[in-house]
């Protein structure tokens, strides 16, 4: 199974047509895949809170959005999650690379990883953790759930899910 | 002119357009001057008016006018390259540049000192960047709307705030009536 293709397929199947991204090495493949899809408008953002603003506007304009980002950025998004996405009750799937988890080669990444789930829990954000490739089978249901309840929903995807780091 | 005087003058132009309005006193002033379902009032999230407006403009065909502030652009400066590189010809970013953080008591911003937001916007690749005087706002905005081209308008004006009540409308109500107006 090619998980990058599977993720993009699930986004399209759920009518998601506006995707903003800030890169992570783990996300390179899925970002490239999304960039190539004609039915998705890919708009890279310079900071994750900016990206969430773009998503909020796109949703009010009638397009289903998603954000693809790294967990180290979670801190810069809290004000936006609380006062825009949650306060105005908007749906937002957040596909997040979960750096600093098992098979992580860069020690510094662990420093945000140890806070990631606690911070998401503090924000009452429904959170899923993909650790094995087969976990991606749940993505379709998670996307449906997100647009059913109009909430931000986090999908943490660790290095093991993405198949490790090769030679690193 | 101060912000509220400008908003009063351009209210007839704004009335029928989709407007995304900056946090704090700008939204309170617009709400008091001419509340419309086509107005999206930001109650928080300083900095994101321009981003919300761009997402909205890219997602649907109606013109979108963002009423932003110099302080908010400075806090989300990354918005300008995104705007420049994702051209939406139904998008007008109007920055009310009063050289201050108006809502919090008129503390000076760098835009009122050495930093030119119009030049920053140009350097970021934005086209149709116009810096204008407060008294010319209506004319410049009307022309920008008629041109059907993406614009960034920097309105140089005085610092100062009108006294208006805070917006007590529920955010979900603001958002819901706005979305209905978008679809209408
Ligand atoms: C993250 C964050 N920092 C600070 C504030 C406080 N604050 C609210 S409005 C504002 C000033 C915004 O200035 P500007 O965008 O220039 O608008 P003006 O009121 O001058 O028209 C500030 C600093 C805030 N709401 N959120
Ligand atoms: Mg200001």
Distance from CA of B145 to the nearest CA of A (A): 19
Q: For an interface test with A, which of B47, B59, B167 has the most A Cβ atoms less than 10 Å from its Cβ?
A: B59
Nearest ligand, measured from the Cα of B47 = 1
| Closest residue CA from atom 4 of ligand 1 | B46
Q: Token match 């059913």: residue? A: A148
B25 CA closest ligand 1 atom index: 19
Nearest ligand, measured from the Cα of B98 = 2
Helix (H, G, I), strand (E, B) or coil at A46: coil
Nearest ligand, measured from the Cα of B73 = 1
Residues of B with CB under 8 A from a CB of A: 20, 40, 42-45, 47-60, 76, 78-79, 81-82, 86, 171-172, 174-175, 178-179, 182-183
B111 CA closest ligand 1 atom index: 16
Q: Which band of pLDDT confidence, cut at 50, 70 and 90, is reported for residue A1?
A: confident
pLDDT digits (tens, 9 = 90+) for A140-166: 999 999 999 999 999 999 999 999 875
Asked if residue A167 has pLDDT above 70, the reply is no
Alpha carbon of B48 to those of A20, A52, A81, B90, B122: distances in Å?
15, 9, 12, 18, 20
Give domain B3-183's CATH superfamily.
Answer: Thiamin diphosphate (ThDP)-binding fold, Pyr/PP domains (3.40.50.970)
| Closest residue CA from atom 2 of ligand 1 | B46
pLDDT digits (tens, 9 = 90+) for B73-132: 999 999 999 999 999 999 999 999 999 999 999 999 999 999 999 999 999 999 999 999
| Closest residue CA from atom 25 of ligand 1 | B46
pLDDT value of residue A166: 58
What are the backbone angles phi and psi of residue A126, rounded to the nearest 5°? -55, 130
Contact A12, A39 (CB under 8 A): yes
Q: Which residues contact A138 (CB under 8 A, 6 or more apart)?
A: A128, A130
Distance from CA of B84 to the nearest CA of A (A): 12
**DSSP output for A58-117:** HHHTT-EEEEEEEGGGGGGGHHHIIIIIITTT--EEEEEEETTSTT---HHHHHHHHHHH
Kindly provide the ipTM of the predicted complex, given to two decimals: 0.98
Is the Cα torsion angle B26, B29, B33, B38 positive or negative in sign? positive
Which residues of chain A make contact with B48, given a CB cutoff of 8 A?
A: 49-50, 52-53, 56, 80, 84
Which residues of chain A make contact with B82, given a CB cutoff of 8 A?
A: 43-46, 50, 54
pLDDT value of residue A164: 82
The CA distance from A12 to A37, in Å, is 9
The CA distance from B128 to A92, in Å, is 32
pLDDT digits (tens, 9 = 90+) for A109-145: 999 999 999 999 999 999 999 999 999 999 999 999 9
* Token output for B36: 């419309």
What are the backbone angles phi and psi of residue A133, rounded to the nearest 5°? -50, -40
**Cβ of residue B103 lying under 6 Å from some atom of ligand 1:** yes
- Closest residue, chain A, to B66 (C-alpha): A57
The CA distance from B70 to B111, in Å, is 6
Q: Closest Cα to residue B178, out of B39, B4, B35, B10?
A: B39
- List the domain boundaries for chain B: 3-183
**What is chain A's alpha carbon radius of gyration, rounded to the nearest angstrom?**
15
Checking phi first, is residue A69 left (phi over 0); if not, alpha (psi -120 to 50) or beta? beta
B71 CA closest ligand 1 atom index: 16
The CA distance from A98 to A117, in Å, is 10
Q: What is the CATH number of domain A3-158?
A: 3.40.50.970
pLDDT digits (tens, 9 = 90+) for A86-111: 999 999 999 999 999 999 999 999 99
The answer to whether B82 contacts A41, with C-beta atoms less than 8 Å apart, is no
pLDDT digits (tens, 9 = 90+) for A12-63: 999 999 999 999 999 999 999 999 999 999 999 999 999 999 999 999 999 9
The answer to whether B78 contacts A83, with C-beta atoms less than 8 Å apart, is no
- List the domain boundaries for chain A: 3-158
- Closest residue, chain A, to B60 (C-alpha): A61
């Amino acid at each position: 199974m090619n998980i990058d293709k599977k993720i993009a397929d699930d986004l399209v199947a759920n009518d998601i047509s506006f995707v903003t991204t800030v890169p992570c090495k783990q996300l390179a493949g899925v970002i490239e895949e999304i960039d190539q899809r004609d039915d998705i408008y890919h708009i890279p953002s310079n900071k994750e809170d900016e990206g969430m603003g773009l998503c909020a506007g796109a949703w009010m304009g009638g397009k289903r959005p998603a954000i693809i980002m790294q967990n180290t950025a979670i801190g810069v998004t809290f004000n936006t999650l609380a006062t825009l996405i949650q306060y105005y009750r908007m749906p937002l799937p957040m596909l997040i690379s979960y750096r600093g988890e098992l098979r992580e080669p860069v020690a510094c990444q662990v420093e945000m990883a140890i806070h990631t789930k606690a911070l998401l829990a503090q924000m009452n954000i429904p959170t899923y953790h993909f650790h094995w490739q087969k976990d991606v089978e749940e993505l379709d249901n998670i996307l449906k759930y997100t647009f059913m309840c109009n909430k931000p929903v986090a999908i943490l995807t660790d290095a093991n899910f993405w198949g490790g780091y090769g030679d690193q | 002119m101060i912000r509220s005087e400008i908003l009063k003058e351009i209210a007839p132009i704004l009335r029928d357009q989709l407007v995304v309005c900056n946090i704090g006193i700008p939204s309170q002033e617009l709400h008091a001057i001419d509340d419309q379902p086509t107005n999206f009032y930001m109650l928080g999230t300083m900095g994101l008016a321009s981003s919300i407006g761009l997402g909205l403009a890219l997602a649907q065909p109606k013109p979108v006018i963002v009423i932003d502030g110099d302080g908010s652009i400075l806090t989300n400066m990354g918005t300008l390259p995104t705007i420049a590189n994702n051209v939406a010809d139904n998008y007008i970013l109007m920055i009310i540049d009063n050289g201050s953080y108006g809502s919090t008591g008129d503390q000076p911003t760098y835009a009122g000192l050495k930093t030119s937001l119009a030049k920053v916007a140009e350097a970021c690749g934005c086209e149709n960047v116009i810096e204008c005087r407060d008294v010319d706002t209506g004319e410049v905005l009307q022309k920008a709307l008629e041109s059907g081209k993406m614009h960034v308008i920097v309105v140089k004006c005085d610092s100062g705030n009108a006294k208006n009540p805070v917006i007590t409308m529920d955010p979900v109500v603001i958002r819901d009536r706005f979305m209905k107006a978008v679809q209408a």
